[in-house]
Chains A and B, each alone.
Chain A
Amino acid sequence: MENKKVWFFGNRISLLITLAIVFVAAIGIRLYDLTDMPLDFNANRQLFSALKARGMYYAMLPASAADVPQWQREMAISQWKSMATIEPPVTETLVALSYRVFGLHLWISRIYTSFFWVLGGIFLFLLAKEISSLDGAVVALLFYLFLPFGIIASRSFQPDPLMVFLMIAGLWAMYRWRSSGTWKWALTAGLLNGAAIFVKNVAVFPLLGAAVGLVLERGLRESIKDRQTWILAILSALPVGLYTLYGVLISGSLASQFNLRFFPDLWKDGGFYIRWKGQLDGITGFGPIVLALIGALLAGKRKSAFLLGLWAGYLVFGMTFAYHISTHDYYSLPVIPIVALSFSPLVALLADRLEQVQPAWLVRTSLAVFTILVCGVYLWYARVDLARSDYREDPQFWWKLGEKLGHTNPAIGLTQDYGARLAYWGWQDISSWYYSGDLNIRDLAGINVNLSDRFADQIKGKKFFVVTQMSKLDSQPEIKATLYNHYPIYDQGNGYLIFDLTHPK
């Protein structure tokens, strides 16, 4: 399949105007409802980053310059420092630095992640153009930027949008390197891959998959003999390698991060694959994935190797993080660019066929109308999704609950997002009691949890047991009975229940 120099709608100007509109619309929809609280998408993950960024911010500020009382400043810093380290806090650091300039506005992160995702679109377009045609690239870009799930997910406060952006840039550079064979592209690819994997190490899977595809397509022996291959690999692995070594061996901050992540037992469970497919259905839909796989197969030798390598990388990633891939939708975020890239060759093929259809003006007009309608519907649904929920009142609830708990009294409980909302807006740290999902994952790992012993152990030194998720308490009748039978209710109101652990009945 030869790459065409012109696109379906003719001249370069129309392409540039289209791209400009597309990018503006993509940024626009992501910044819609900007100041709402980040509870629209995996709130737990977003607040984890928000707590880190806030802690960093207050740590950067001298005590005298802080706009909150000293106890809050200290608590914010302590919350940050007590958070688990999963990845290097790159986005969090950027956001904390921005807080210093603009003040603490939680929505600043939304601007960063939205821009990262949209910037990823530029590289996606360039790469899709390489592996298909301008038509394929435009459709791939539209899919990547306007998929409703992608719109919501890409504005969330977590490292994934930055990782996806760097991953696509790395993929583009790798493909360019394979085409040109120059040191410039080898180094660029290595640096971009390294950055992507550094931001979130799971980027290694698709990147490695694509790299293996290219290496095998070229010939294993020839690739191994090529020093550029080695430099690219070393540059890709070095940043995260150093960070991991430092985290595991020196600071110890990463030591626990490899627990409860690998569940090979799930591979034998048919339900796991159904759940995984269910996650993908919710992200891109099954249809686009099928079209993408067809596109990957018909793309031509090198392109197929590259795209199938990407898919293989994603598959290995999913099998490695079997529990998370089938329960956490955002783990599959990289699949959006993979699907977009993979079906671009198919779009190119269909566009070629359409060019033979007459009258051309009717085909072009219809195509333009369909494209605008589909994008319009997608944007509309994303907008409705964003407008439907307004979380701006939530902080008030959590602040009041924090006041009732006294902010500094030791507490445990079953509250939203493992206590993150209470910690962030209520300025009240709590230990989170197990959700039923936590018990399931431990069960999968073969860890037997004795609930009574665990409960007795966990409430030691705690003053309150706070519940804001009644259904989660209902799903643990043993704990519910223990609380109601042995501890008096300290306070209760609309949406919360506090047991006094210091005065057992």
Chain B
Amino acid sequence: MQVTQSPNRSFIAPTRWALALVLTLLLGFGLAIRLFDLTDLPLDFHPTRQLFAALKARAMYYQTAPGIPDWKRDITIRQYETEATIEPPILESLVAATYRLTGEHLWIARIYSSIFWILGGVFLFLLARDLLSLDGALVALAIYLFLPYAVIASRSFQPDPLMVMLILLCLWSAVRWNRNGGWGWAVLAGLGGGAAVFVKFTAAFFVAAALLWAVLDRYSLKQALTRLQVWGMALLSILPAAGYLLYGLYFADTLGSQFSGRFFPQMWIDPFFYFRWEGKIALLLGHVGLALALLGLMFLRSRRSQNLLLTLWAAYFIFGMVFDFHISSHDYYSLPLIPIGALSLAGMGQEMLRGLAEAVSGSGWRRAAAHLLLLFVVVMTVWDVRVQMKSVDYRPQEAYWASIGQALDHSASVIALTQDYGYPLVYWGFQKASIWPDYGDLQYRDRAGKSDFASRFQNLTRKKAYFLVTDFNEFQYQPELKDYLYGQYPIYLQGEGFVVFDLTHPLTP
């Protein structure tokens, strides 16, 4: 095989202009696809998590917004006050602040999250340039931006896109500091890492891994302990979250319950835990994608890059073992794996492109075909995601939930077997409700200790006037509940997609 192309010359972007064009196309397409179908309701991806944030943003906005009816303001703020505090509501605050300028438009959150993800892409590209060839970096960026799961997840109203962006900022700065040293990079790495952990505690695993790698790759442990920059990075990355944590635990008492029900070491010996976990990763990367990503580590040319990525994989693994229930049941917990997977896959991608460049260098049409093929992959992936977004329209749900809220007159004492922990009901219906647990929750609770149906029903429906059912699939899964409600209570009202039982007038008193 004749090799005529310089091994260092990029196949995808051989000139600076070409690079500018390719980057513009990738980032532009990346943003455009995320803003497609912008005004659809955020029910396409983990609606509970998104509406949880949406309710917080609305409550912040309603606290000062003029012209909001008092009953709406009351319901919203009361709901906000009962919501658990998991992370500091940074994105929610940003969105609420924007509402004050633009009015309440739920899709504003989508713009923020999308931009955060795209900015993360810029840091990822810069980072990848330090670890891989230019082609490898472009491959990593393309995977990060266009993986179908990533497109959908990264436009969701939750702190994760911002967290991933900040992790990437920390990683890039840490790699730069590792190579060049200097207070500038140390501060940036510390601030990026600190902000990431502040936005969402789970970032700590990745930030710690990145900083540990950066320090221990440069210095011995003993040397590291004597370096001020190391201490500076450590302090900056720990302080914001530690401050928030201390405040939440000891002053505001908002975080007390957030560390229970998250750690189940007994799952480690259950092989199905690993299958479920692998299944979640497969949603992000695919089974083969995961295998190729791990294999891709071997194609990284420098030991330094290999060690960094191995450290990040190890961090993800430890993170998964600690949050074992969530990692195997909530796919978005694995979101930080996308940039790690993208970098790992890019190792193989750069070798592939190097081989392709060599093979097609003697033939104009084959070179053109190869470029077209790469463009085709991006276009088809974007198009597929577009089709996926367009195939579902959630907008009618707004009126549906509003009608239920209206039927219940917003103020009744209600317990509900309903979708997404009642968030759509409260968000669009302005109807607060206690939530009857779904089948998955019942299983989850059973891990901690069982309770029988009768006592559960008695406990949960105490002082409730109505039992609302909108989730009929769940209703089928709980035949005991279904039989009991139909057997013991009259139907108060029913309509398209919902039924309300009157708990105040049992059929057999």
Within 8 A of B (CB), among A276-325: 277, 285-288, 290-291, 293-294, 297-300, 304
Is residue B249 within 8 Å, beta carbon to beta carbon, of the partner chain?
A: no
In whole angstroms, how far apart are the Cα atoms of A299 and B299 in the complex?
20
| Contact across chains for A297 and B1 when beta carbons are under 8 A apart | no
Is residue A354 within 8 Å, beta carbon to beta carbon, of the partner chain?
A: yes
In whole angstroms, how far apart are the Cα atoms of A236 and B370 in the complex?
33
Is residue B506 within 8 Å, beta carbon to beta carbon, of the partner chain?
A: no
CB distance from B206 to the nearest CB of A (A): 23
CB distance from B7 to the nearest CB of A (A): 12
Of A36-44, A199-207, A371-379, the segment with at least 4 beta carbons within 8 Å of chain B is A371-379
Which chain A positions have C-beta within 8 A of B359?
A: 297-300, 304
Which chain A positions have C-beta within 8 A of B299?
A: 350, 353-354, 357
| Contact across chains for A286 and B380 when beta carbons are under 8 A apart | yes
Which chain A positions have C-beta within 8 A of B392?
A: none
| Contact across chains for A298 and B355 when beta carbons are under 8 A apart | yes
Is residue A484 within 8 Å, beta carbon to beta carbon, of the partner chain?
A: no
| Contact across chains for A378 and B287 when beta carbons are under 8 A apart | yes
Is residue B269 within 8 Å, beta carbon to beta carbon, of the partner chain?
A: no
- Among B289, B295, B351, contact of A349 (Cβ-Cβ < 8 Å): B351
Is residue B373 within 8 Å, beta carbon to beta carbon, of the partner chain?
A: yes
| Contact across chains for B288 and A298 when beta carbons are under 8 A apart | no
| Contact across chains for A304 and B298 when beta carbons are under 8 A apart | no
| Contact across chains for A294 and B381 when beta carbons are under 8 A apart | no
- Among B278, B286, B373, B384, contact of A297 (Cβ-Cβ < 8 Å): B373
Which chain B positions have C-beta within 8 A of A354?
A: 298-299
In whole angstroms, how far apart are the Cα atoms of A374 and B351 in the complex?
22
CB distance from B138 to the nearest CB of A (A): 15
| Contact across chains for A294 and B373 when beta carbons are under 8 A apart | yes
Which chain B positions have C-beta within 8 A of A380?
A: 275
In whole angstroms, how far apart are the Cα atoms of A367 and B373 in the complex?
28
The count of chain B contact residues (Cβ–Cβ below 8 Å) is 30
Is residue A235 within 8 Å, beta carbon to beta carbon, of the partner chain?
A: no
In whole angstroms, how far apart are the Cα atoms of A419 and B355 in the complex?
53
Within 8 A of B (CB), among A193-218: none
In whole angstroms, how far apart are the Cα atoms of A349 and B353 in the complex?
11
- Among B278, B286, B366, B384, contact of A277 (Cβ-Cβ < 8 Å): B384
| Contact across chains for A298 and B373 when beta carbons are under 8 A apart | no
| Contact across chains for B380 and A346 when beta carbons are under 8 A apart | no
| Contact across chains for A370 and B295 when beta carbons are under 8 A apart | yes
Is residue B369 within 8 Å, beta carbon to beta carbon, of the partner chain?
A: yes
Q: Given A354-B299, A377-B278, answer yes or no on A294-B370 (Cβ-Cβ < 8 Å).
A: yes
In whole angstroms, how far apart are the Cα atoms of A293 and B295 in the complex?
20
Q: Given A293-B373, A374-B288, answer yes or no on A349-B352 (Cβ-Cβ < 8 Å).
A: yes
Is residue B38 within 8 Å, beta carbon to beta carbon, of the partner chain?
A: no
Is residue A90 within 8 Å, beta carbon to beta carbon, of the partner chain?
A: no
Q: How large is the interface on A (under 10, 10 to 19, 20 to 34, 35 or more residues)?
A: 20 to 34
| Contact across chains for A363 and B298 when beta carbons are under 8 A apart | yes
Nearest neighbor of A277 in chain B, beta-carbon distance: B380
- Among A285, A294, A374, A377, contact of B356 (Cβ-Cβ < 8 Å): A294
Is residue A63 within 8 Å, beta carbon to beta carbon, of the partner chain?
A: no
In whole angstroms, how far apart are the Cα atoms of A353 and B299 in the complex?
8
In whole angstroms, how far apart are the Cα atoms of A168 and B436 in the complex?
58
Q: Given A290-B377, A297-B360, answer yes or no on A350-B348 (Cβ-Cβ < 8 Å).
A: yes
Chain B contact surface mostly: helix
Is residue A1 within 8 Å, beta carbon to beta carbon, of the partner chain?
A: yes
Which chain A positions have C-beta within 8 A of B264?
A: none
Nearest neighbor of A281 in chain B, beta-carbon distance: B384
| Contact across chains for A366 and B370 when beta carbons are under 8 A apart | no
Which chain B positions have C-beta within 8 A of A288?
A: 288
| Contact across chains for A374 and B287 when beta carbons are under 8 A apart | yes
Is residue B283 within 8 Å, beta carbon to beta carbon, of the partner chain?
A: no
| Contact across chains for B1 and A353 when beta carbons are under 8 A apart | no
Is residue B460 within 8 Å, beta carbon to beta carbon, of the partner chain?
A: no
Which chain B positions have C-beta within 8 A of A349?
A: 351-352, 355
In whole angstroms, how far apart are the Cα atoms of A67 and B262 in the complex?
63
| Contact across chains for B383 and A298 when beta carbons are under 8 A apart | no
Nearest neighbor of B289 in chain A, beta-carbon distance: A287
CB distance from B132 to the nearest CB of A (A): 14
Within 8 A of A (CB), among B200-253: none
Q: Given A293-B373, A377-B278, answer yes or no on A304-B366 (Cβ-Cβ < 8 Å).
A: yes
Which chain A positions have C-beta within 8 A of B318?
A: none
Within 8 A of A (CB), among B260-301: 275, 278, 286-289, 291, 294-295, 298-299
- Among B291, B295, B352, B381, contact of A346 (Cβ-Cβ < 8 Å): B352
Is residue B448 within 8 Å, beta carbon to beta carbon, of the partner chain?
A: no
Is residue A260 within 8 Å, beta carbon to beta carbon, of the partner chain?
A: no
Is residue A274 within 8 Å, beta carbon to beta carbon, of the partner chain?
A: yes
CB distance from B199 to the nearest CB of A (A): 32
Is residue B101 within 8 Å, beta carbon to beta carbon, of the partner chain?
A: no
- Among A291, A297, A353, A370, contact of B369 (Cβ-Cβ < 8 Å): A297
Q: Contact residues of B with A, CB < 8 Å?
A: 1, 275, 278, 286-289, 291, 294-295, 298-299, 348, 351-352, 355-356, 358-360, 366, 369-370, 373, 377, 380-381, 383-384, 387
A-B CB contact pairs (8 Å), 14 listed: A286-B377, A290-B373, A291-B352, A294-B373, A297-B359, A297-B369, A299-B359, A300-B359, A350-B299, A350-B352, A353-B355, A367-B295, A370-B291, A373-B291
Q: Contact residues of A with B, CB < 8 Å?
A: 1, 274, 277, 285-288, 290-291, 293-294, 297-300, 304, 346, 349-350, 353-354, 357, 363, 366-367, 370, 373-374, 377-378, 380
Ranked nearest first, the 9 interchain pairs of A and B with the lowest CB-CB distance are A298-B359, A349-B355, A374-B291, A298-B356, A353-B351, A370-B291, A290-B377, A297-B370, A298-B355
